[in-house]
Amino acid sequence: MFNLLPISFRFRGKVRRLFDLYRCFLDHPGKGLHPTQLARHTGIDFANTVRLLERTPELFLRLPKRDGITRYRLTSAMTAQDPDQVERFLLRNARRESLIFYAFGFMVLCALLIVVLLIGPAL
């Protein structure tokens, strides 16, 4: 049902997985990791790992291909922050997306109410 929405949420419902990826990069400092390695270490399936890495450029940076292998690293801004700050960043963005979701739902509800009020007297 939620796939019918015209917007895509990058953080809402994905905070724990994004933070797990972040922690995996902290466990392997200074290394570029392939999505397969990240999927193995975090327990997230490969397709979701790639999707999360590509959709959140604020957190993860795609490195130039070397030998045909794509690797990712943390951005310098995220490397410089504490894990608590990164978790607050993720929660703040998830909260913003939740507000957008609720606002969209409220607009749909208001549109249905207007339709009912316009059609109601005619019945």
Q: From first to last of the 123 residues of the chain, give the pLDDT tens digit.
A: 456 656 788 999 999 999 999 999 999 998 899 999 999 999 999 999 999 999 999 999 999 887 888 999 999 999 999 999 999 999 999 999 999 999 989 999 999 999 999 998 877
* pLDDT for position 95: 97
The token duo for 69 is 């292998």
* pLDDT for position 94: 96
Q: Locate the domains of the chain by residue range.
A: 2-122
The token duo for 19 is 């933070």
Dihedral pair phi/psi, residue 116, rounded to 5°: -65, -40
Task: Report the 10 Å Cβ neighbour count for 40.
Answer: 14
* Whether the Cβ atoms of residue 73 and residue 61 lie closer than 8 Å to each other: yes
User: How much is the pTM?
Assistant: 0.85
CATH class name, domain 2-122? mainly alpha
Comparing CA positions, the residue from 80, 78, 27 lying closest to residue 38 is 27
Comparing CA positions, the residue from 69, 81, 64, 65 lying closest to residue 25 is 81
